[in-house]
């Protein structure tokens, strides 16, 4: 692949790669003088959301300092266009308050006191603990908990080499619900829309296109609009994306699935359905059989329309609080767009509501009806537009199952019940010997953060806690080790994302190490070249695994030995060299064309387009074989098992489902105790209008969005991003403000079931009446007097105290403001707020099917009370446990439900899938 092909939209002034070793340009800061500076340019990958956009670091040849970070125009996903968070990497790198050395706790856990230690001591201590746990058969007591993932499959390999069941993630506070809805249809758990070719795009995405995966999607949505496509955005707020839409849909929170069924109704009624696609690719016979109907396809067509006849625009409008005309118009537009209908749901309704997963399922129903699946301008499954190359060794699956990760009550949970970890620990369901949190800040990010404080404070529940993070976070206060890991320019990772109808890989690189090695310097570990002794996880896990099994007797070491030097520890260079030489189709040839090895090519370019224009992968023909073909039912079997679909006179691969077709009806839901949810339906949310008492000022709080310049917990060490976004007032409609008697800027008390917070009001017509909204990712804090903290661009000093055995009051004692540091700009901070922390006041609400935390909260919103202060947070953890028990009772556990005494259906995905034996109860 040459650069001209990769460069789909040229940025005329960007340095061409052949000049990246020595690039000269004028120093902007020296203006109006013309001062030339010379740079080495090194490509890497952004680490500030999961989209993995390409970046290029400009390293000043004179002082060796990274002067700026810009987008890489040759990156197939981002094409040189980045959001503000990409270039802000430079702030993170030069943050004067960075933690530069590994730290070890002194004094009791939670005292906030740490001292510098060495990487050797860290590796020896943690390696010995993990080895002991493994040798003693405590293989569920080692846990790795990831916030921001940054590498496809790396840690899963490490954990499975150790033989532990210990992968935990943040996914059930993020996307698990939508993933279940998509999985039930196609086996792919995420959508990959082809926005730029869509005639009509419908987004239910409070994060994706306004903050997460932001840039690669946002630029293609606008490309689609520029080509004449239309855009509809469903969001309770007038988000940035909604403001660009042709339609803004703000239904009552929790009714989105019904709105989507309304669109399906219009499409069916108007006969805008692509019946040829449905006939060939949907398992419509299973649907008919489940409803005890016989008949042919024509009968199914009539029956399906009759089944959704109830979802008339009038009915939908009444329940959802929309105009019937709007439902009718959007439904028709989707139908007329046909296979060029692109759609996406992330967070938003899926993450907010009980039954939120059903919104994703109903959205996919609409796509299926119009044949917009993996089509040009339609929506593909994520697995077809993401490429994860295999590493040099694959350990066997572990034989154990941790009920702290996948408790039996949620057998269909798409990911770990991560946010319930403290509740499960405090319920006596297990303990953790060694716990790693990785770029993860559960005390601040998760609901019910005070429960995390209590669990992490208890050394009986968590024996040792190591924080792996590029920056200080609230959770680090309750750690035994704080281990500094690199930013985007300080680490290796390999990533691919479903940004559009193509597959690519992106290579994150430690910039200073790359340059040192180019100059012929010998480097053993990346931390030797990074600021201080900041390391990277890839090498840390190799070194730690070597300490866990130094002599190879546990069978672990073999997975960390070089494929090129028998018996010796693998280097990170060898790890990637093997992947690039053996697992990426087309890369060795492309490299050879430029006279490079595959590794040299990736070091030079930082990305590689594996395949462009990926569409209709389900139509790919099966390899020739001895198949049993049933042309009438459209099935292809091998040894009695369905392996494909017979369509268009050929044996085709179909979708990764049990039927190999799109599953309108789910036997899995029936088998596991949810027969009423076997087909696309609308589930009443926990914040449904019927469950609100408006006479008591009850409202719905939507907290599932963030301002687009925020990076989870890492915005706070970026001065530019904090200057852009430093408050998160409560959005309130003028009608509600008048009812409550507040005006712009007045203080509100927002009371949840377990506590309250105090914040200012922002009165706006950009939110639905009866609903309030508040961005999370703001309100960072540090306990006053702690010896170690950071991020004072945004953090407040707080007094965090217990006001009873179970209740906490957090009150800020110092506003954000100018501070002295090595960066003179810290003395110019003009803002005094860093926002208000709200997540701590949210009770846990695990969806009984998907296990997703249902973020929307039923709240009472009143004027602040006398004595309340801006930023106050109050929580009572006694109430937290009571709410947890209430939601636990809604679940339908494995054992009582399900098949064959299994913990979970074996055909559903599970992170770090254990052996079949471990699935047995």
Q: Which residues bind ligand SF4 (CB under 6 A)?
A: 46, 48-49, 51-53, 78, 82-83, 85-86, 214-215
Shortest reach from residue 85's CB to ligand SF4, in Å: 4
Identify which of residues 192 and 751 has a Cβ nearer to ligand SF4 in the complex: 192
| Cα distance between residue 116 and residue 429, in whole Å | 35
Min dist CB 199 to ligand SF4, Å, is: 25
Cβ nearer to ligand SF4, comparing 49 with 891: 49
The smaller minimum CB distance to ligand SF4, of residues 216 and 245, is found at 216
CB of 499 or CB of 704, closer to ligand SF4: 499
In terms of CB distance, is 51 or 439 closer to ligand SF4? Answer: 51
Q: Minimum CB separation from ligand SF4 for residue 504, in Å?
A: 13
CB count within 10 Å of CB 307 equals: 16
Query: Which one, 9 or 271, has the nearer CB to ligand SF4?
Result: 9
Residue number with CB closer to ligand SF4 (489 or 666): 489
Q: Quick one: 78 or 273, whose CB is closer to ligand SF4?
A: 78
According to DSSP, residue 865 is labeled P
Query: Alpha helices, DSSP H only, in 569-654?
Result: 572-582, 587-593, 598-605
d(CA 163, CA 139): 7
Largest Cα separation within the chain, whole Å, is 82
CA distance 605 to 603: 6
CA dihedral 309, 311, 314, 316 (to 10 degrees): 180
Using CB atoms within 10 Å of the CB of residue 167, give its burial: 0 to 12 exposed, 13 to 18 middle, 19+ buried.
buried
In whole angstroms, the minimum distance from the beta carbon of 53 to ligand SF4 comes to 3
CB 215 to ligand SF4: min, Å:
3
Q: Which two tokens stand for residue 207?
A: 């994060």
Peptide bond into 887 cis (omega under 30): no
Radius of gyration over every alpha carbon of the chain, rounded to an integer in angstroms: 27
Q: Which is nearer to ligand SF4, 186 or 210 (CB)?
A: 210
User: Look-up: residue for tokens 């008339």?
Assistant: 312
Confirm if 358 and 683 have CB atoms less than 8 A apart. Answer: yes
**Is residue 894 packed enough to be buried (19+ CB in 10 Å), middle (13-18) or exposed (0-12)?**
buried
Map tokens 């949210």 to a residue: 842
State the minimum distance, in angstroms, from the CB of residue 345 to ligand SF4.
Answer: 18
Residue 48 beta carbon to ligand SF4: minimum distance, rounded to whole angstroms: 4
Exposed e or buried b per residue across 10-40, where buried means at least 16 C-beta atoms within 10 angstroms of its C-beta: eeeebbebeebeebeeeeeeeeeeeeebebb
Query: In angstroms, what is the minimal distance from the CB of 7 to ligand SF4?
Result: 18
Q: Residue 329 class from Cβ within 10 Å (0-12 exposed, 13-18 middle, 19+ buried)?
A: middle
CB-CB contact of 610 with 504 (8 Å): yes
Give me the phi and psi of 76, to 5 degrees please: -65, -30
The CA distance from 851 to 399, in Å, is 23
Cβ 68 to ligand SF4, closest distance in Å? 14
Nearer to ligand SF4, 59 or 721 (CB): 721
711 or 843: whose CB is closer to ligand SF4?
711
Identify whether the C-beta of residue 228 lies closer than 8 Å to the C-beta of residue 297: no
Shortest Å distance, C-beta 829 to ligand SF4: 23
CB of 434 to ligand SF4, least distance (A): 31
In whole angstroms, the minimum distance from the beta carbon of 782 to ligand SF4 comes to: 24
Rounded distance between C-alpha atoms, residue 242 and residue 248, angstroms: 6
Q: Which is nearer to ligand SF4, 83 or 864 (by Cβ)? A: 83
In whole angstroms, the minimum distance from the beta carbon of 78 to ligand SF4 comes to 6
What DSSP line would sit under 223-276, residue for residue? Answer: HHHHTT-EEEEE-SB--HHHHT-SEEE-PPTT-HHHHHHHHHHHHHHTT---HH
Of residues 494 and 677, the one with the C-beta less far from ligand SF4: 494
């Amino acid at each position: 692949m040459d650069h001209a092909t990769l460069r789909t939209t040229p940025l005329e002034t960007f340095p061409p790669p052949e000049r990246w070793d020595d690039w000269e340009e004028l120093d902007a800061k020296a203006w109006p003088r013309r001062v030339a500076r010379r740079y080495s340019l090194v490509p890497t990958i952004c680490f500030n959301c999961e989209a993995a956009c390409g970046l290029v670091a400009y390293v000043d040849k004179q002082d060796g300092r990274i002067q700026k970070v810009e987008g890489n125009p040759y990156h197939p996903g981002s094409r040189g266009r980045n959001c503000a968070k990409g270039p802000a990497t430079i702030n993170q790198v030069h943050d004067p308050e960075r933690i530069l050395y590994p730290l070890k706790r002194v004094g009791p856990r939670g005292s906030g006191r740490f001292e510098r230690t060495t990487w050797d001591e860290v590796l020896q201590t943690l390696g010995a603990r993990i080895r002991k746990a493994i040798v003693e058969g405590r293989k569920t007591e080692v846990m790795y908990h990831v916030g921001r993932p940054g590498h496809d499959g790396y840690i899963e390999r490490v954990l499975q080499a150790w033989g532990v069941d210990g992968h935990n993630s943040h996914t059930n506070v993020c996307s698990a619900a939508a993933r279940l809805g998509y999985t039930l249809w196609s086996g792919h758990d995420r959508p990959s829309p082809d926005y730029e070719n869509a005639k009509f795009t419908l987004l239910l995405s409070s994060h994706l296109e306004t903050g997460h995966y932001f840039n690669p999607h946002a630029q293609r949505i606008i490309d689609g609009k520029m080509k004449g496509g239309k855009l509809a955005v469903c969001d309770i707020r007038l988000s940035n994306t909604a403001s660009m839409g042709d339609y803004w849909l703000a239904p009552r929170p929790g009714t989105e699935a019904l709105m989507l069924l309304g669109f399906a109704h219009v499409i069916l009624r108007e006969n805008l359905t692509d019946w040829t696609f449905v006939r060939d690719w949907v398992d419509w016979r299973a649907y008919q059989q489940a409803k005890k109907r016989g008949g042919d396809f024509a009968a199914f067509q009539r029956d399906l329309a009759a089944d959704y006849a109830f979802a008339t625009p009038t009915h939908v409008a009444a329940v959802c609080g929309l105009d019937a005309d709007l439902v009718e118009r959007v439904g028709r537009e989707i139908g007329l767009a046909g296979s060029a209908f692109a759609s996406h749901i992330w967070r938003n309704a899926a993450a907010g509501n009980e039954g939120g997963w059903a919104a994703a399922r109903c959205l996919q129903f609409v796509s299926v009806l119009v044949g917009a699946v993996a089509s040009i301008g339609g929506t593909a499954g994520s697995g077809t537009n993401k490429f994860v190359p295999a590493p040099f060794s694959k350990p066997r699956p572990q034989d154990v199952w941790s009920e702290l990760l996948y408790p039996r009550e949620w057998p269909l949970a798409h990911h770990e019940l991560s946010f319930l970890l403290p509740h499960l620990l405090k319920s006596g369901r297990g303990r953790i010997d060694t716990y790693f949190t990785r770029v993860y800040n559960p005390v601040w990010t998760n609901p019910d953060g005070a429960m995390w404080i209590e669990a992490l404070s208890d050394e009986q529940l968590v024996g040792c806690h190591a924080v792996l993070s590029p920056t200080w976070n609230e959770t680090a206060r309750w750690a035994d080790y704080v281990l500094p890991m690199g930013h985007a320019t300080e680490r290796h990772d390999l990533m691919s994302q479903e940004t559009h109808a193509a597959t690519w890989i992106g290579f994150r690189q430690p910039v200073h190490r790359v340059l040192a090695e180019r100059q012929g310097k010998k480097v053993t570990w990346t931390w030797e070249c990074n600021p201080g002794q900041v390391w990277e996880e890839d090498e840390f896990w190799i070194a730690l695994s070597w300490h866990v099994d130094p002599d190879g007797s546990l069978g672990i070491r073999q997975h960390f030995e070089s494929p090129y030097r028998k018996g010796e520890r693998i280097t990170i260079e060898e790890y990637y060299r093997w992947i690039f030489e053996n697992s990426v189709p087309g890369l060795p040839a492309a490299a050879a064309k430029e006279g490079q090895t595959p590794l040299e090519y990736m070091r030079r370019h930082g990305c590689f387009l594996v395949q462009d224009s990926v569409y209709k992968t389900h139509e790919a023909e099966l390899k020739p074989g001895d198949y049993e073909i049933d042309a009438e039912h459209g099935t292809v079997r091998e040894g009695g098992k369905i392996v494909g679909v017979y369509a268009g006179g050929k044996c085709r691969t179909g979708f990764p489902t049990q039927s190999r077709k799109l599953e309108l009806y789910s036997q899995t839901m029936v088998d596991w105790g949810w027969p009423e949810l076997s087909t696309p339906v609308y589930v009443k949310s926990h914040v449904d209008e019927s469950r609100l008492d408006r006479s008591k000022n009850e409202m719905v709080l939507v907290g599932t969005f963030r301002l687009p310049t925020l990076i989870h917990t890492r915005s706070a060490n970026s001065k530019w991003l904090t200057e852009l976004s430093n408050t998160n007032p409560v959005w309130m409609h003028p009608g509600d403000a008048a009812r409550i008697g507040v005006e712009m800027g007045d203080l509100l008390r927002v009371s949840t079931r377990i506590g309250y917070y105090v914040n200012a009001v922002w009165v706006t017509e950009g939110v639905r009446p009866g609903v309030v909204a508040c961005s999370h990712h703001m309100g960072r804090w540090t306990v006053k007097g702690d010896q170690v903290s950071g991020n004072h661009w945004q953090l407040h000093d707080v007094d965090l105290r217990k006001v009873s055995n179970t209740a906490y009051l957090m009150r800020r004692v110092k506003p954000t403001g100018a501070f002295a540091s090595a960066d003179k700009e810290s003395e110019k901070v003009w803002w005094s707020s860093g926002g208000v922390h709200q997540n701590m006041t949210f009770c846990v609400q695990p969806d009984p099917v998907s296990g997703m935390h249902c973020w929307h909260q039923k709240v009472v919103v009143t004027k602040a009370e006398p004595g309340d202060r801006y930023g106050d947070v109050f929580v009572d953890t006694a109430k937290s446990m009571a709410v947890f028990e209430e939601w636990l009772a809604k679940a339908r556990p494995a054992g009582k439900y399900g098949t064959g005494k299994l913990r979970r259906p074996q055909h559903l995905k599970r992170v770090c899938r254990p052996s079949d034996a471990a699935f047995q109860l």
